[in-house]
Structure 1
Amino acid sequence: MEKMDILIKQVRLNDGEALQDIAIEDGKIINIASAINDSAKEVIEGAGRVLIPGLVESHIHLDKALIADREPNKSGTLKEAIEVTAKLKPTFTEEDVYNRAKRALEMIIRHGATTVRTHAEFDPAQGFTGFNMIMRLKEEYKDLIDMQVVAFPQEGIFKTPGTEKMMYEAMDMGADIVGGIPYNDAPANEHIDLIFKIAKKYGKDIDLHQDFADEADDTSIEYLCEKTIKENYQGRVSVGHLTALHAMSKEQLARVIKLMVAAKINVMPLPATDLHLGARNDEVNVRRAVTPIRKLRDAGINICLATNNIRNAFTPYGNGDLMQIAMLAIPVGHLGGADDLPTVLPMITENPAKALGLKDYGIEIGKQADLILLDTKIKADAIIDLPERLYVIKNGRVTVKVDTKVTIHR
């Protein structure tokens, strides 16, 4: 009998269940059983460690990563972050964007991401410099990570003449998702209408930077939900940030959540960025300025934790590790309770897989073999241990392997 490609021995899929062997061939999981004795080209000894599906990075900006040292955001506000980045973007060359985005991409691959959705910017000042390089990396790294590219108009559409035409051009050039930013354009509702028009023309999903603000006095989330239902786009719209919800009254929030549930909106809280930029004007009782994760989760809304930015004016730190983002979200979102903690790992695995429309995801026979072997033996501790990712497997091939042997010299 011909050898299978990989056999992973004795791994923990769920706490309280027997250890399992996982057989992989031709990029797929072909068998899961308590003992598989067939031979394999590569055998990985799990020794009771936890095996999870690949991490899904659902919201990141690879094209503007690693520029914090060029022009600092001294006030730490969203306003200055946008201004600083807008000033820098015309100076980006293709080589510059390519090299920085490549480094950031390799960071998230090293930490176990097997799928990523990245927003790629363009505007009349910088043209398609960044967008083109992201599309290039999508092709070059397709064996290591699946990439969805969002056509993203950071500077707005109506307030930046020429951008509307570029939105259509980006879709023609191969963008996977239609992006938008209602809060940085005027009027916001017309911005949303245009995004839906483009999405319907190309049959694509929508991903918006939505209501990123400390206050809730100028939001468009309710209109977005109503539009989503009207256009029969339930489940196909994702929003990042959505921080203004934390400032809503109990009654207003309940109304908004009810609409979001009906529209099946996917929400990507971005705690590393939102904590850094939010509530900068609060002098006492400084707010967390993060969308109310627990309330949204409890209502049945699909929550996906994501990185957003790595070392730029929006987020001047980060190393591409989604587990660190999830760990940050635990105290920020009051997710450390016995009933809450088990809901966090799905926020960087199954939930974003659902939001991104991944049909072949998970640890089941016949699914794509995108897997991570963690250096922990308790699945419930998979986040709080911040475990080393010993093996990352993408499409049935080992892409990352880490030796954790540590010698302490006395």
Structure 2
Amino acid sequence: MADLLLTDVLPRGYEHPVDVRVEDGRIAEIAPDLTAPGATTIDGGGRPVLPGLVEPHLHLDKAMLGGGDGTLEGAVRETAAMKERFTHDDVVARAEDVLRRAIRHGTTLVRTPVDVDPTVGLTSIDALLELKERWAGTVELQVVAFPQEGIAARPGTHDLLVEGLRRGADVIGGCSYAEDDVEACREHVRQVFDLAERFDVDVDIHADFAAGPDDPRHDLAAFVADVTAERGWGGRTTLGHVTTMAGLTPDSRRRVAARLAEAGVGLVVLPPTDLYLQGRAAPVAELLDAGVATALSSNNVRNAFTPFGTADMLDVTLLAAHTQPFGTAEGLDRLVDRGTAGAAAMLGVGGHDLTPGSRADLVVLDAPGVDHHTALLDRAPRRFVVSGGRLVAETMTTTTLHGL
């Protein structure tokens, strides 16, 4: 028996609205005039529908802490001081605040880097592992054990990362620029891959987060690609930020991009933070043209790294569109893929698209009678959000213009 029948919706690539029939949490059929006796029926009203949105790099443990001085150094320093006051309940409350915003905006899959160091210990990891279980079936969480302040630079962090992975963290994180010199940064990367091999988990590294390549600690993307290839971790390694690439010469960018593509390293570009702190973002169009798996994310919501944001991936998509030549319908489609199926694939989650057999994560945009391009440009509210075939959020808005 079908779980759900979503009627009269317009997926991308369709000229006319269709129905979507869901069974056992997955899309069973997409066609006009479907029937599903006994199923919950939702009338899409001719609205456009997208796959569930994906946040592949969202710091839930550090969200909603307030703004900073606009520098990377200041953000790290201020956040490190705030972590001394973190409690389990505080982390849970702030993280759930952002998760509620995210699901209201249609995000159904989140990878969250969670700080692990001698200051905060495992407080935040334990909180996010609790939320992973609590939110299962609504938002799927991948928890990353993340050494924001370095490994060698913060003695004791390595053992805490090991314990975080033992407790159930899904991914080992790294922060390649966080050590005192470039050789220590390279050793940081090697230790991260050692842990990935030991626990058979994916790697997610913050890398090259600077306005230019003057500091060699912020020019390690090619090194990470080399280690990825050596360890056989292609398709299982992701880099975040890589803002430094934007400051390289075109020939240098092409060489680095080719190496990343060859090694199977994915990139998550974080326009809100990178533009706020560095004034530039990684060259998404060039990366995609070079065959590099690339995705988009908010990174942070309302803290010293990014004082803004509502955990809305369509806002992030539009912000990315402002930075590079994505103004055409084809360009917008390219970016929407980076916030849906393309991002999910980078996280090792297949079947995250609007096709039969895919997980039924669906976002209906409140823009009846228009296509998804117009709905995106209008920042249309999310009328319905379905996760795993279950309605998890519904938003109703009305506007009346008087005197016209």
Q: Deviations over 1:325-384 (max 9, x none)?
A: 111111112321354222111110011111011123222222221111112331233432
TM-score relative to the length of structure 2: 0.94
Q: Is the 8 A contact 1:7 1:23 kept in 2?
A: yes
In structure 2, the residue matched to 1:194 is 191
In structure 2, the residue matched to 1:285 is none
> Does 1:153 pair with 2:147?
yes
Q: Deviations over 1:106-145 (max 9, x none)?
A: 1111111111000111211121111111111111111211
Alignment of 1:379-398 (within 5 A): 379-398=372-391
Cα distance in 2, alignment partners of residues 336 and 210 from structure 1: 28
Q: Is the 8 A contact 2:366 2:380 kept in 1?
A: yes
Q: Is the 8 A contact 1:12 1:19 kept in 2?
A: yes
> Does 1:46 pair with 2:37?
no
Number of matched pairs:
395
In structure 2, the residue matched to 1:313 is 304
Q: Is the 8 A contact 2:19 2:32 kept in 1?
A: yes
> Does 1:352 pair with 2:343?
yes
Quote how far apart the aligned CAs of 1:406 are: 3.2
Q: Is the 8 A contact 1:119 1:149 kept in 2?
A: yes
Cα distance in 2, alignment partners of residues 125 and 199 from structure 1: 23
Alignment of 1:184-223 (within 5 A): 184-186=178-180, 187-217=184-214, 218=216, 219-223=219-223
Cα distance in 2, alignment partners of residues 274 and 198 from structure 1: 28
In structure 2, the residue matched to 1:281 is none
Cα distance change, pair 237–312 in 1 and its aligned pair in 2 (3 A) = same
Q: Is the 8 A contact 1:15 1:379 kept in 2?
A: no
> Does 1:99 pair with 2:96?
no
Quote how far apart the aligned CAs of 1:395 are: 1.1
Residue from 46, 52, 68 that aligns with 1:73: 68
Quote how far apart the aligned CAs of 1:91 are: 0.9
Secondary structure, counterpart of 1:325 in structure 2: helix
Alignment of 1:173-252 (within 5 A): 173-186=167-180, 187-217=184-214, 218=216, 219-252=219-252
Q: Deviations over 1:24-57 (max 9, x none)?
A: 1221222222221332432222232111110011
Q: Is the 8 A contact 1:267 1:301 kept in 2?
A: yes
Cα distance in 2, alignment partners of residues 56 and 204 from structure 1: 20
Cα distance in 2, alignment partners of residues 276 and 367 from structure 1: 36
Cα distance in 2, alignment partners of residues 355 and 225 from structure 1: 15
Residue from 356, 360, 366 that aligns with 2:357: 366
Cα distance in 1, alignment partners of residues 137 and 251 from structure 2: 48
Secondary structure, counterpart of 1:344 in structure 2: helix
Letter in 2 for 1:315: T
Alignment of 1:118-137 (within 5 A): 118-137=112-131
In structure 2, the residue matched to 1:258 is 258
Cα distance in 2, alignment partners of residues 330 and 150 from structure 1: 28
In structure 2, the residue matched to 1:282 is none
Letter in 2 for 1:274: D
Cα distance in 2, alignment partners of residues 127 and 342 from structure 1: 42
Task: Determine what percentage of the aligned residue pairs are the same residue.
Answer: 36
**Which shifted more, 321-330 or 40-49?**
40-49
Cα distance in 1, alignment partners of residues 224 and 155 from structure 2: 23
**Which shifted more, 203-212 or 213-222?**
213-222
Cα distance in 1, alignment partners of residues 280 and 19 from structure 2: 44
Letter in 2 for 1:368: R
Quote how far apart the aligned CAs of 1:408 are: 4.4
Secondary structure, counterpart of 2:396 in structure 1: coil
Residue from 394, 398, 402 that aligns with 1:401: 394
Cα distance change, pair 289–27 in 1 and its aligned pair in 2 (3 A) = same
Secondary structure, counterpart of 2:380 in structure 1: coil
Quote how far apart the aligned CAs of 1:268 are: 0.8
Which runs of 5 or more structure 2 residues have no equivalent in the other structure? none
Cα distance in 2, alignment partners of residues 31 and 312 from structure 1: 43
Secondary structure, counterpart of 1:48 in structure 2: strand
In structure 2, the residue matched to 1:283 is none
Cα distance in 2, alignment partners of residues 222 and 300 from structure 1: 15
Alignment of 1:24-63 (within 5 A): 24-63=22-61
